[in-house]
Structure 1
Amino acid sequence: MHDSSDTQPAPNPDPPEQALDRRVVVLVVPAVGTWAPPGRSPETWRLALAEDTYEVLASLDRVDVAVAVVGGDESSVADISALTWPGTAVYSVDPTRPVLDALSGVGPAAAAVAVSYDAPDLPGLLIGKLFRALSSADLAVCPAEDGSQVAIGVNFPVAPWVASAAPTFDTSLAELERLKPRRHAVAIGPGWHRLRSAGDIARLDPGLEGWDATRAVLRGA
């Protein structure tokens, strides 16, 4: 757990020309817990997942990291801020357009990727693959095994069709394929999994390093 006092998006001091090389990853976290394994608190579980997924993103090279709290008030934003490193921007976003609002809050950048909070064991290299795919695509996604999306990346300025579609982590690949205006507008990266139900816990590999907070909650610590 880290100490951070940032509760609002920090203004980006970079001039526009330097933003051409800036890449940002945004962790997107719900304001309240939605579920938990049996005998665990949804709020404790939410914070554990968010902390571990944030640590994955914070370890990436040559990217800035921000956190967006969906529908968050001052208290929920402060709770998430306490999990981040100093200097991390943490801000609230509208529940009606959580992904695009999260991405629009990063300031000037070349591209940004929004990552769902419930992927505590996500390999960081999958995020790198999305940034590479955005060199030619308007939108790049890391699909989850359940048909949702683990991560969604966009170029700036956001393509008009992406802005209109306003994809969320629940938007299916079939819907994106239907909406895309040209063949290579959507890039699909390697898939992963999210922890959205008790059955998903079996996908965690105890032999892998990381996801320490999630592991502690599952052990009852």
Structure 2
Amino acid sequence: MTTADGADRRVVVVVVPEAGTWAPPGRDPGAWRLAMAEDTYEVIAALDRVDVAVAVSGDERAVAEVRALTWPGTPTYAVDPARPVLHAVELAGPAAAVVAVSHDVPDLPGLLIGKLFRALSNADVAVTPAEDGSLAAVGVKLPIADWLVELAPTFDTPLELLEARKPRRHAVAIGPGWHRLRSNADLARLDPGLEGWDATRSLLRHS
């Protein structure tokens, strides 16, 4: 049972940009963005003992577009494109910790999210680094530490910057790495034998 102040509540928010920055050749960037977001959301929605939400960097039209991909009752809201991660965390409601997940990890193993929550028992922030130097997921312990508020990390914040700005040794926890889908080379990391990522898989099969 969750306490009134959310002291034992854990939330995972999928953060979706208003517009895609890359899509495979011959694929519509908007459709590609939504396919990845849908699959990433499905991964998170299948997790036990977490509340799930979706944050969209965009206007109400963009929010409605993404809301149509979620299960009824899933909180879906707009966030500031300049600080999408922390804004998503702030709007998640009372909680012990919130993990923000980038929309472009449709094959992310759910167990990696659990590792971030465990790490947040001692750290201010816990991250899943991506192979391209960005971040696939950012977990934040609440209340948000002052140094994180000032830094306002996004999924494109280099891990080295987090490490350089941390106020104490264990303030930043680093979980196992994963990959985001942001280039043709990243597509080779998708495992055709792995269950899930159905929307992304379907879009790759059809022009």
* Fold in common (TM above 0.5): yes
* CA apart distance, 1:198: 1.5
Deviations 1:120-151 (A, max 9, x none): 00000000000000000000000000110000
* CA apart distance, 1:73: 1.2
Letter paired with 1:45 = W
C-alpha separation in 2, matches of 1:45 and 1:199 = 16
Tell me the equivalent position of 2:161. 175
Q: TM-score, normalised to structure 2's length?
A: 0.97
Give yes or no for the alignment of 1:73 onto 2:62.
no
Task: Show the 5 A alignment for 1:1-221.
Answer: 15-16=4-5, 19-70=6-57, 72-220=58-206
C-alpha separation in 2, matches of 1:196 and 1:36 = 7
* CA apart distance, 1:35: 1.7
Letter paired with 1:190 = P
Q: TM-score, normalised to structure 1's length?
A: 0.91
Letter paired with 1:219 = R
* CA apart distance, 1:14: 6.1
C-alpha separation in 2, matches of 1:32 and 1:141 = 24
C-alpha separation in 1, matches of 2:23 and 2:140 = 31
Fraction of identical pairs, as percent:
71
Q: Any stretches of 5+ residues in structure 1 without a counterpart? A: 1-12
C-alpha separation in 2, matches of 1:15 and 1:209 = 37
- SS in structure 2 opposite 1:203? coil
* CA apart distance, 1:33: 2.2
